């Protein structure tokens, strides 16, 4: 039986107890939310990692994308990126490799990762089609499902599947109304195939086939947003919403069949669209876990897109997004390097933590309250330990240390407001 099936029968598994304990909620509540498709635990039945809970009542989680591209196929570097993602607190990683030996890469990531691993199988479908047939339009329907099953069999915990990119929407896109019709790689591969063959998206048409594979491995489906806006001008438009409605229907079918789903969302959104997008998703998809890619609150932050994404992600999390996909400083420019991964993970952690504080999660507040106490007490070791990057904080402080008083810092020195005001009001 799958997790949803067990939860529907009221069976509380050890896995549910483990996640509930870590999150500080009751196992019954978590189990109920899993049964209703409002929370998921991502772990392939073949894997022996710590189970990851995502969704209603749980802490905001973050994902780090790693993986090669055709222009950069260094497996060792990608595994180092994985280590960095783990070190700085990512909750999951996605291997989005599109270059080099993909199978080897995927298996290595799964083997090395203590975190849930996600993939986008259609990338590999496309790459094999180019190798085998010379073109991505020559993909066969069986190719798609074969690769998905292969990923599941290798132990992948969740897969992005762009089931909502339907023929109807792709036809509508031809109107040219969108500035950037499709910015999802998986979505564009499928749309290209659909246009060439004049056929419906196999992931939509044969959704039952996908559910069969997912059930076997208790694989979580991340229903991809192939029509997410790729610029602010395209935000919250009819294409995005029509896809969301389709995904919402498919999610209901999946949950009734015992398959866990998370729903992917934008993308690029002006800050004043964020609340609306979260509320729409939660309403249309009946509180399914929401996995946002950013959202980036400006198109212009190249080189600093991790900051634009932290702004959007924090707000999204406050309004109920459950899972934030990190964005690195190299987004829109090139494949990230290790430093980019670190910057991306930390920015995303800050956003998720800010969201959890805003939602009033006790675990999040404990951390900030400890930091405030440490500041009050001039306890630098505690402050450093409570930061997101203790090594950086230590070295920054060492670079320009206070010269006369170890209690303060070189910003204010003897004019430390905490020191002066405590002297005043504690007289």
- Residues placed in the known binding site: 65, 94, 123, 162, 184-186, 225-228, 264, 268, 291, 332, 409, 412, 416
Known binding-site residues for [4Fe-4S] cluster equal 409, 412, 416
Shortest reach from residue 318's CB to a copy of itself, in Å: 5
Q: Which lies closer to a copy of itself via its Cβ, residue 245 or residue 372?
A: 372
Tell me the three-class secondary structure of the chain, residue by residue: CCHHHHHHCCCCCHHHHHHHHHHCCCHHHHHHHHHCCCEEEECCCCCCCCCEEEECCCCCEEEEEECCECCECCHHHHHHHHHHHHHCCCCEEEECCCCCCHHHHHHHHHHHCCCEEEECHHHHHHHHHHHHHCCHHHCCHHHHHHHHHHHHHHCCCEEEECCCCCHHHHHHHCCCCCCCCCCCHHHHHHHHHHHHHCCCCHHHHCHHHHHHHHHHHCCEEEECCCCCCCCHHHCCCHHHHHHHHHHHHHHHHHHHCCCCEEEEECCECCHHHHHHHHHHHHHHCCCCCEEEECCECCCCCCCCHHHHHHHHHHHHHHHCCCEEECCCCCCCCCCCCHHHHHHHHHHHHHHHHHHHHHCCCHHHHHHHHHHHHHHHCCCHHHHHHHCCCHHHHHHHHHHCCCCCCCCCCCCCHHHCHHHHHHHHHCC
Shortest reach from residue 53's CB to a copy of itself, in Å: 22
Shortest reach from residue 260's CB to a copy of itself, in Å: 27
Shortest reach from residue 4's CB to a copy of itself, in Å: 32
Shortest reach from residue 154's CB to a copy of itself, in Å: 21
Q: Which lies closer to a copy of itself via its Cβ, residue 325 or residue 335?
A: 335
Shortest reach from residue 133's CB to a copy of itself, in Å: 15
Shortest reach from residue 82's CB to a copy of itself, in Å: 18
Sign of CA dihedral 399, 400, 405, 407: negative
Q: Which lies closer to a copy of itself via its Cβ, residue 188 or residue 220?
A: 188
The answer to whether 50 touches 114, Cβ cutoff 8 Å, is yes
Q: Which lies closer to a copy of itself via its Cβ, residue 17 or residue 89?
A: 89
Q: Which residues contact 142 (CB under 8 A, 6 or more apart)?
A: none
Shortest reach from residue 222's CB to a copy of itself, in Å: 17
Q: Which lies closer to a copy of itself via its Cβ, residue 214 or residue 310?
A: 310
Task: Give the end-to-end CA distance of the chain in Å, rounded to a whole number.
Answer: 66
Q: Which lies closer to a copy of itself via its Cβ, residue 203 or residue 254?
A: 203
Known binding-site residues for substrate equal 65, 94, 123, 162, 184-186, 225-228, 264, 291
Known binding-site residues for Zn(2+) equal 268, 332
Q: Which lies closer to a copy of itself via its Cβ, residue 47 or residue 353?
A: 353
Q: Which lies closer to a copy of itself via its Cβ, residue 104 or residue 373?
A: 373
């Amino acid at each position: 039986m799958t997790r949803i099936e067990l939860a529907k029968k009221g069976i509380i598994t050890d896995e549910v107890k483990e996640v509930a304990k870590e999150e500080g909620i009751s196992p019954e509540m978590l189990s109920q939310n899993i049964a209703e498709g409002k929370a998921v635990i991502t772990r392939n039945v073949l894997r022996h990692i710590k189970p990851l809970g995502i969704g209603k009542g749980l802490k905001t989680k973050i994902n780090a994308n790693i993986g090669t591209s055709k222009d950069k196929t260094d497996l060792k570097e990608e595994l180092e990126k994985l280590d960095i993602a783990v070190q700085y607190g990512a909750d999951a990683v996605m291997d989005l490799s599109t270059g080099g030996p993909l199978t080897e890469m995927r298996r290595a990531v799964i083997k090395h990762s203590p975190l849930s691993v996600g993939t986008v199988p259609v990338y590999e479908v496309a790459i094999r089609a180019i190798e085998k047939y010379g073109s991505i339009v020559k993909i066969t329907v069986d190719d798609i499902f074969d690769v998905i099953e292969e990923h599941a069999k290798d132990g992948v915990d969740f897969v992005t599947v762009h089931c909502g990119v339907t023929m109807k929407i792709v036809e509508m896109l031809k109107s040219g109304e969108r500035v950037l019709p499709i910015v999802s790689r998986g979505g564009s591969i499928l749309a290209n195939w659909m246009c060439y063959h004049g056929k419906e998206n196999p992931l939509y048409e044969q959704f039952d086939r996908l559910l069969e594979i997912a059930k076997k491995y208790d694989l979580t489906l991340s229903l991809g947003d192939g029509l997410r806006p790729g610029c602010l001008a395209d935000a919250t438009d009819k294409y995005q919403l029509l896809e969301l409605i389709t995904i919402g229907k498919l999610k209901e079918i999946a949950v009734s069949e015992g398959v866990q789903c998370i729903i992917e969302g934008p993308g690029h959104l002006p800050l004043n669209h964020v609340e609306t997008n979260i509320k729409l998703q939660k309403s249309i998809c009946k509180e399914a876990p929401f996995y946002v890619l950013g959202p980036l609150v400006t198109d212009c932050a190249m080189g600093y897109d991790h900051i634009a994404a932290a702004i959007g992600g924090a707000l999204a999390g406050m309004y109920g997004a459950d899972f934030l996909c990190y964005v690195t400083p190299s987004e829109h420019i090139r494949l990230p390097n290790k430093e980019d991964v670190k910057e991306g993970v930390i920015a995303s952690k800050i956003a998720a933590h800010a969201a959890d504080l805003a939602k009033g999660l006790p675990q999040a507040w404990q951390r900030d309250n400890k930091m405030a106490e440490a500041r009050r007490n001039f306890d630098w070791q505690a402050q450093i330990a409570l930061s997101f990057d203790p090594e950086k904080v230590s070295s920054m402080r060492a670079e320009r240390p206070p010269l006369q008083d170890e209690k303060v810092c070189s910003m204010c020195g003897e004019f430390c407001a905490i020191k002066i005001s405590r002297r005043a009001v504690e007289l």
